[in-house]
A and B are shown apart, each in its own frame.
Chain A
Amino acid sequence: MKEYLLIIISTVLVNNFVLVKFLGICPFMGVSKKLETAVGMGMATTFVLTLSSICSYLLNEYLLIPLGIEYLRTIAFILVIAVLVQFTEMVMHKTSPVLYQVLGIYLPLITTNCAVLGVALLNTQQQHGFIESALYGFGAAVGFSLVLALFAAVRERIIVADVPAPFRGSAIALITAGMMSMAFMGFAGLVAA
């Protein structure tokens, strides 16, 4: 039990995928202009990441390893993630139009989110079991959502702040991201994982 808790804390804070491992930077910069969209993106990513880390674990364990074709992992995982996102989108469109509207365009965008593939690959690299994989994916997604929401909230305030002209727009956003990244490094040593 303690082990699982450590995985969650480790992925959310210590080894945060965006600010420490620098995965999934594209949505981090792209979808963080408003808090609402950031939360939507975070929800969609959490859903897909958890599901895809489970599916890629199953695929790796029961198809790739028995057949001795682990070297095709990347292609197989990309395939699984893309199919999963498409399938989820279709089912969601049919069964829950409200959620479909909330997640909207963010769902297909996740297909190309490198954090999703990164989590799947790291899972196999670190030889996680089934529950560990699922928790690792979930924790990574929670960390991603947390940072995205924090960053969006900061950016909403930056817009109304008196920023010097050369720093306006993306420049100040990147500087802010860098400072957040440094702040998150303060979590290193919180757990040894």
Chain B
Amino acid sequence: MLNAILSISLLALAFGLLLGYSAIRFRVEGDPLVERIDAILPQTQCGQCGFPGCRPYAEAIAADSAEINRCPPGGETAMLALADLLGRDPVPLDGEAAEEAEPVLAVIAEQECIGCTLCIQACPVDAILGAAKQMHTVIASECTGCGLCLPPCPVECIRLEPLKVDTGSWRWPFPTTPHDQMKAG
């Protein structure tokens, strides 16, 4: 009886140790750098960096084939965080990213909106509210100002307006990355 319990326990223990050891010994490394870069990027998947999403951009940065300044939604915060992570020099934001460096917000001129829903489909963060043949509007707190809703609009009623800082919208400058803010919010 004791014999049986002991031997099966020992057998199980030995197998457990074997598996535990081999899990460490034969671990397959993913690329941890890509994960960390991806964590800094804002995950809007807007494609303004020229890559099909945040992760491909992160992979390109990790492979040293892309600059760190191509992310407009992340803005300067993300660029500085990337520079810090990768030990590269901070570079000014590139192209489109530079123009929209200041925080902007998409605004729909509601009297002109025809309710075509095209901008809703384009929005990567689901910040536009509306239905077919109903007036659409932008949920200001969700909008990242990526500007992807502008091209599909057939009547050009969407504008990007600089975010006016007033007592209602001013925030303490948190020392966090955009990704952290998204996770918290």
> Interface of A with B (CB < 8 Å)?
63, 67-69, 72, 75-76, 79-80, 83, 86-87, 90-91, 93-95
Contact = CB atoms under 8 A, between A and B. Distances in A.
A67 B7 contact: yes
17 contacts: A67-B7, A68-B3, A69-B3, A69-B4, A69-B7, A72-B4, A75-B8, A76-B11, A87-B18, A90-B19, A90-B22, A90-B23, A90-B26, A91-B22, A91-B26, A93-B28, A95-B26
A94 B26 contact: yes
Given A93-B26, A94-B26, A94-B28, A83 B4 contact: no
Q: What is the predominant secondary structure among interface residues of chain A facing chain B?
A: helix
A179 B152 CA distance: 60
A83 B7 contact: no
B28 A87 contact: no
Given A68-B3, A69-B3, A72-B4, A87 B19 contact: yes
A72 B8 contact: yes
B12 interface: yes
A91 B18 CA distance: 12
A5 to B, nearest CB: 35
A63 B15 CA distance: 14
Interface string B18-40: 11001100111000000000000
Contacts of A94: 26-28
A67 to B, nearest CB: 5
B19 A86 contact: yes
A32 B91 CA distance: 56
A83 B27 CA distance: 17
A57 B4 CA distance: 18
Nearest to B27: A94
Contacts of A87: 18-19, 22
Given A63-B11, A93-B26, A83 B3 contact: no
Nearest 9 A-B pairs (CB), nearest first? A94-B26, A83-B15, A69-B4, A90-B26, A90-B22, A93-B28, A67-B7, A91-B26, A86-B19
B101 to A, nearest CB: 43
